[in-house]
């Protein structure tokens, strides 16, 4: 997915309040930045995904917390 398309989908998900889509899209953006070694940007996107997952009570929160912990960006939480 190209950056412009990802941005469009993120804006639409925000407008619709679609937490599951926001988690998936922010995770995807984080994955893309991580793949090219841009860890600060990856962690920004993964943090957004984590916050939306927590707010919505989604199971993805645990894996996102682990990834942020592995990058030294969060404390490891118990779920």
What percent of the chain is predicted at pLDDT more than 70? 100
Reported as a single tens digit per residue, the pLDDT across 10-52 is 999 999 999 999 999 999 999 999 999 999 999 999 999 999 9
Q: Say how far apart CA 60 and CA 74 lie, in whole Å.
A: 15
The predicted pLDDT at position 2 comes to 86
Distance of CA 34 to the CA centre of its chain: 12
Q: Say how far apart CA 66 and CA 56 lie, in whole Å.
A: 18
What percent of the chain is predicted at pLDDT more than 90? 92
Distance of CA 1 to the CA centre of its chain: 15
The predicted pLDDT at position 3 comes to 81
Distance of CA 75 to the CA centre of its chain: 16
Stretch 60-64: mean pLDDT? 98
């Amino acid at each position: 997915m190209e950056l412009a398309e990802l941005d469009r989908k993120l804006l639409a998900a925000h407008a619709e309040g679609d937490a599951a889509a926001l988690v998936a899209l922010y995770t995807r953006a984080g994955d893309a930045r991580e793949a090219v070694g841009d860890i600060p940007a990856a962690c920004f996107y993964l943090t957004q995904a984590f916050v939306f997952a927590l707010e919505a009570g989604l199971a993805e929160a645990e894996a996102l917390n682990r990834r942020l912990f592995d990058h030294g960006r969060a404390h490891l939480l118990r779920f």
